[in-house]
Amino acid sequence: MDAFRPLGTRRTLIRGTGPLVETVRAEVTSACERFGGEVVRDGPYDLLLDLVAGDDLGLGAEGFAFARAGGTTTVTASGQHGVLYGLFHVVRVGEDAFRGTRAREVHRPAAALRMLDHWDNVAVHPVMGQVERGYAGGSLFWRDGRARGDFAQVRAYGRLLAACGVNAVSVNNVNVHEAEARLLTDRIGEVADLAGALRPYGIRTHLSVTFAAPVVLGGLSTADPLDEAVRGWWAEAVHGVYEAIPDFGGFVVKADSEGQPGPFTYGRSHADGANMLATALAPFGGTVHWRAFVYDHRQDWRDRSTDRARAAYDHFAPLDGEFADNAVLQVKHGPMDFQVREPVSPVLGALPRTRFAVEVQATQEYTGQQRHVCWLGPMWSEVLRFRPDGEQGATVGELAQGGLVAVSNVGDDPFWTGHPLAQANLYTFGRLAWRPDADPHHILDEWIALTLPSASTSERLAAGLRAVLHGSWRTYEKYTAPLGVGFMVQPGHHYGPGVDGYEYSPWGTYHFADRDGIGVDRSAATGTGYAAQYAKPWAELYESVASCPDELLLFFHHVPYGHVLRSGKTVVQHIYDTRFEGVEEAEEARRVWAGLADLVEPARHARVAERFEEQVRCAREWRDQVNSYFLRKSGIPDERGRTIH
């Protein structure tokens, strides 16, 4: 709330009516009550928040114009959402919003949908718990098998999301179990209650549904998407949803993946399945988000011709142009599964006639599980700035007209994200979803100033937080899986090192290390052919060992341990050196944080300090297990003579 101080010390005029305008009025009034200032009915005033009729300014439903002249700061919008986002923009700018003169700036979101997917279970799952891949306590939405009664916390969450620029939330797990399935029908009232708590901040509610709902809930003998009875059942179910939630956003669907039912059962395509749901949603303005995470999770590790990385492209590229206008293909940013390093998915450039959304993972399943500092802004920025057709083509951020989606990292923890510094990932996602070409480091500075307002007056605190966060993604990469090879984690929970954890499993996540080398041959000439799924400039780059970027070398090629990288180091020496460097950098980050104890609220400082102890412990374990593994595989000692066990 301290970030609202500049607003609360001034006179503010708010023009316009509507529920979101009333939210803005309440926010400003609260700030004035706390810090002084006044909400006025007429002039003079220091801040004008103005909702104008029509859209002559070309701002759209969520955009706003920001300017300062003649001693008055003005936010103008043609939609209620724009007034709300304009208010939060003034808060971000802070005192500078009321100084000097500012030429008119227009701010519009690049994507109409900026969504968080919560993998929350209504009933606690015996294996995955309350939140699948959740590392911040229990669900914000569900408790004891039903919707939580504490809607004040849900409303506060809506406020947090609006401040980040997020405008949609899916409230349940994409792996839909029995209790979650019923949210679509007889338990839709609980979803409506959640939607009511989120609505004052412009957040539309979405729901994950099971493709087999007509069988599971409706008693039909089939879920065939071309069956008229099935289509009728969905039409009736959707009508009931919109009766309960008129501004409902739509469905999220995981189908034919990791045991979830889908259209393949009936010999139908994913376009058939998605379009059936799109047809039911279309009369109400709803959207179906159809996840492209479809692959064979029962692979034979002996068969090197099978490649999980190929799966999404092989399934969906042939269907380009067959999806309905209100069907969005939700594509993971990489071809595997949210690894600390993997190439941008070729699907993101392969479907010019299909709306797609880019899916990232804010919850740090493979990047430290919110026990390690790992700010992912630079990774996401690289993905969004990637040009699938080469240097002259559009970026992924420009092409993703279906929006940006993140798997949520929030739970009912007092710090929202378990690790207080993991809040930076939530904020960065929202801001990059609004403007994909934004500088992530500038966004991080915004988050620092908003979350720890004393950082604006203490350069030591601001510098310390930057030192801890800026390079944390690269630090995590240095002590975990090397050169894009991925995984090497403990099976099941995916935390901590397990170099051969999935090497002989059916999940298709192999590194193929032997006595001679490591890596997966994904070339077209001698390997799985995955490299050829890219447009020509990238296909040629990745095809050759000589031109493949070092950071992705082991993703695309199997090379000897003595292969020399562009750094001049051999692959095995790079592995040794970066494991040691990663631990040293984690230890230094812990030292820097300890030195900020006098500048950070005690409970927050203690929580982060506790997490740093675990990060350093785990980083050392990664270093020792990975280095020992490759020393034993290769027989090549560390040229610097350090201890490898």
pLDDT category of residue 53 using cuts at 50, 70 and 90: confident
Residue 337, pLDDT above cutoff 70: yes
Q: What pLDDT score does 342 carry?
A: 98
Residue 221, pLDDT above cutoff 90: yes
Q: Which amino acid is at 516?
A: D
What is the mean predicted confidence (pLDDT) over 40-47? 94
Of the two residues 222 and 458, the one the predictor is more confident about is 222
pLDDT category of residue 188 using cuts at 50, 70 and 90: very high
Q: How many helices (H) and strands (E) does the chain have?
A: 20, 20
Residue 454, pLDDT above cutoff 80: no
Give me the domains of the chain, ranges plus CATH numbers.
2-107 (3.30.379.10), 114-121+150-176+204-299+308-448 (3.20.20.80), 476-520+558-634 (3.90.1330.10)
Q: What pLDDT score does 638 carry?
A: 98
> Torsions phi, psi of 188, nearest 5?
-65, -25
CA angle 136, 375, 472 (to 5 degrees): 120
The percent helix, strand, coil of the chain (3-state, each to 5) is 45, 15, 45
Q: What pLDDT score does 150 carry?
A: 83
Residue 456, pLDDT above cutoff 70: no
pLDDT tens digits, 486-516: 999 999 999 999 999 999 999 999 999 999 9
Count, residues in the chain: 645
Q: What pLDDT score does 455 carry?
A: 61
pLDDT tens digits, 80-99: 999 999 999 999 999 999 99
pLDDT category of residue 457 using cuts at 50, 70 and 90: low
Residue 43, pLDDT above cutoff 70: yes
What is the mean predicted confidence (pLDDT) over 326-334? 98
The catalytic site residues sit at 258, 337, 365
Tokens at 421, concatenated: 């510094």
What is the mean predicted confidence (pLDDT) over 445-450? 94
pLDDT tens digits, 349-386: 999 999 999 999 999 999 999 999 999 999 999 999 99
Q: What pLDDT score does 39 carry?
A: 96
Rg (CA), the chain: 25
pLDDT tens digits, 380-435: 999 999 999 998 899 999 999 999 999 999 999 999 999 999 999 999 999 999 99
What is the residue-averaged pLDDT of the chain?
A: 96
Q: What pLDDT score does 1 carry?
A: 64
Residue pair 478/578 in contact (Cβ under 8 Å)? The answer is: yes
List of residues 6+ apart from 228 with CB closer than 8 A: none
Beta-strand pair 120-125/102-107: unpaired
pTM of this structure: 0.97
CA angle 234, 123, 119 (to 5 degrees): 70
Tokens at 166, concatenated: 């997020």
Strands, E, within 36-170: which ranges? Answer: 38-40, 47-51, 64-69, 72-77, 102-107, 114-117, 120-125, 129-131, 142-143, 146-147, 168-170
Using a pLDDT cut of 70, give the percent of the chain over it.
Answer: 99
Which of 381, 317, 330 lies closest to 357 in space, CA to CA?
330
pLDDT tens digits, 195-211: 999 999 999 999 999 99
Beta-strand pair 102-107/64-69: antiparallel
pLDDT tens digits, 275-321: 999 999 999 999 999 999 999 999 999 999 999 999 999 999 999 99
pLDDT tens digits, 557-583: 999 999 999 999 999 999 999 999 999
Report the run of H or E that residue 620 belongs to, with start and end: helix 602-634
pLDDT tens digits, 519-552: 999 999 999 999 999 999 999 999 999 999 999 9
Report the run of H or E that residue 213 belongs to, with start and end: helix 213-216
Q: How far apart are CA 45 and CA 154, in angstroms?
A: 33
Residue pair 344/334 in contact (Cβ under 8 Å)? The answer is: yes
